[in-house]
Amino acid sequence: MPVMKTSCGRMLVNLIAAMFLTVMVPSWSPAQSRSEQAFARQVLAGLQASSIAANREYCGIIGLTEAGGLIASAARKGRRDSCLPRDPRGAIELIASYHTHAGFDEDADSEVPSASDVIADMEEGLDGYVATPGGRLWFIDGQSGTARQLCGLDCLPSDPDFVPGQWGPVKQRYTLSDLDARD
């Protein structure tokens, strides 16, 4: 197979790989529970101020304990636009990633999950939760490759420098193709 040297070619390869993984990797949970949503929201709400102040992503993994409870790994401080999470100690099953999108940057479309965010969760066989500088909370379905807004502006702590609408309207739901088109 010839090597593709364009970013469009790389995105196509990633999309095909993500679609393949969607078929091959079972979903941990067809729909996240209200308790899982509340847990993720609490974890991300606690990280937003540090993430915005440092202008860095913070990330981790949510898992299930043997007793069936939810547990989150200690948050890891990443870079401006990337982060490598740790697995939670004591988890018997990993169910979702979580990360912040750092502080507001007028040059970054950070009010929605990126196509890379969705692909990473699909490749790991996880769902995901993303907090944005405007205080939105997103859920990434790692099986279908879709992202939906769980709550809108200011439902989580937000960056005081945030400017709404910088990248146009934000929909309630995006497919991987929709997100790729925004990039």
Task: Examine residue 1 and state whether it is found in any structural domain, yes or no.
Answer: no
Domain that holds residue 147: 7-182
Domain assignment present for 95: yes
Would you say how long the chain is, in residues? 183
Question: Token pair for residue 73?
Answer: 């790994």
* SS3 (DSSP) at 89: coil
Q: How far apart are CA 5 and CA 136, in angstroms?
A: 35
Would 2 be classed as within a structural domain?
Answer: no
Q: What is the helix (H) or strand (E) element at residue 171, kind and residue range?
A: none
How far apart are the C-alpha atoms of 51 and 143, rounded to whole Å? 28
Number of structural domains found in the chain? 1
d(CA 172, CA 113): 12
Mean residue pLDDT across the chain: 86
pLDDT for the residue numbered 45:
98
User: Locate tokens 């169910």: which residue?
Assistant: 95
- Nearest Cα residue to 133 out of 105, 169, 114: 105
Structure tokens at 97: 């990633």
Q: How confident is the model at residue 28 (pLDDT cuts 50, 70, 90)?
A: very low
Compute φ and ψ for 8, nearest 5 degrees.
Answer: -65, -40
In this predicted structure, the answer to whether residue 13 has a pLDDT above a threshold of 70 is no
- Using CA atoms, how far apart are residues 96 and 139, in angstroms rounded to an integer? 9
Position 32 scores a pLDDT of 61
Please tell me the least confidently modeled range out of 20-34, 51-65, 165-179.
20-34
Domain assignment of residue 154, yes or no: yes
Q: Which residues contact 34 (CB under 8 A, 6 or more apart)?
A: none
pTM for the predicted model, two decimal places: 0.82
Residue 67 included in any domain: yes
11 inside domain: yes
- Asked if residue 115 is part of any domain, the answer here is yes
For residue 79, being part of any structural domain is answered with yes
Q: How many CA atoms lie within 13 A of 65 on its CB side?
A: 8
